[in-house]
Amino acid sequence: MAIPDYQSIMLPLLKLVSDGQEYYLRDIIEKLADEFKLSEKERKELLPSGQQSIFSNRVGWARTYLKQAGLLEATRRGYIRITERGKQVLSQNPKYIDVKFLEQFPEFLEFRQRRRDKNEEKEKIKKEDIPLETPEELLEIAYQKIRNELANEILKQIKKCSPSFFEKLVVDLLVKMGYGGTRKDAGKAIGKTKDGGIDGIIKEDRLGLDIIYIQAKRWEGIVGRPEIQKFAGALQGQRAKKGIFITTSAFTEDAKEYVSKIDSKIILIDGETLAQLMIDYNVGVFPVRTYEIKKIDIDYFSEE
């Protein structure tokens, strides 16, 4: 089945801890995954940031909302327990617990109002207006959208640049990624040879223990197997084992399959990957603002 939204998790979560015992949240996540019959793939599916699984994130937010409503309490870091109010709620045998249900509790209303804009505090939130995604998911979705739009803009700019500038861009990126030693050394290395489909060479590390051969092309059409075979042949001619083929377009599936079977290690970097790497290593872009997501440190508030 599909991964349930955080509101659908609230009632099953409360029922799992109904005996009043202290529970470790990680164990609860596994038990809920079993209850919802999630596949291994669904359990491991990550948020866009890749830092946390979607299901774990949603269980975490279900716990947060239940805690803000006074139905759960945090006993220590990573542990929860049902409260007397939580037991009373379960005794009413509710069919569903969601944000609207929790709004009957003053503490939860206060929590909700703190999260709204001042101009919206007096407005009644309708159930259909409540997003199914957790706040972190919404933030990451928005971040990924901004990032993808930036990547598209980067590619458009790259395709307007001259071939020589594109080679410089590739050098800047590889140096930022830790290749080539100094920028001066890398600049000398690239463009050193035009032999057999090789556009340049660069050191693999600062000590120059190995050399990587580079093919960097601003292609409009998709790059197929013949071009990769030509590059692989050029590597063999240099008795080289490592190469990077960078293009502003994309690679055919046949080309990708070919590099997975040959002895030489050739990394294919298409336009989308190139743009994403430039964002990761701040090449041709600069940060505008930074947001930190923080969580409460339960240990700090422990008086034991």
97 lies in the same domain as 160: no
SS in 3 state form for 116-147? Answer: CCHHHCCCCCCHHHCCCCCHHHHHHHHHHHHH
Residue 296 within any structural domain of the chain: no
156 lies in the same domain as 49: no
90 lies in the same domain as 113: yes
Q: What is the pLDDT of residue 188?
A: 58
98 lies in the same domain as 166: no
- C-alpha closest to that of 243 among 266, 260, 268, 264: 266
Task: Write out residues in the chain with pLDDT < 70, as ranges.
Answer: 1, 115-132, 181-197, 206, 208, 298-300, 302-304
In three-state secondary structure terms, 162 is coil
Residue 297 within any structural domain of the chain: no
Last-in-domain residue among 82, 107, 132:
132
Q: What is the pLDDT of residue 118?
A: 40
231 lies in the same domain as 152: yes
Residue 126 within any structural domain of the chain: yes
236 lies in the same domain as 268: yes
Residue 39 within any structural domain of the chain: yes
CA 107/CA 102 separation, integer angstroms: 9
Q: The tokens of 2 are what?
A: 């599909």
154 lies in the same domain as 260: yes
Q: What is the pLDDT of residue 124?
A: 46
Residue 267 within any structural domain of the chain: yes
164 lies in the same domain as 72: no
The bridge status of strand 72-76 relative to strand 79-82 is antiparallel
Q: What is the pLDDT of residue 135?
A: 81
The residue segments making up the domain with residue 272 are: 147-280
The tally of domains found in the chain comes to 2
Q: Which residue has the tokens 């928005």?
A: 142
> Of all residues in the chain, what percent are helix, strand and coil, respectively (each to 5)?
50, 10, 35
192 lies in the same domain as 161: yes
151 lies in the same domain as 270: yes
SS in 3 state form for 40-62? Answer: HHHHHCECCCCCCEHHHHHHHHH
110 lies in the same domain as 181: no
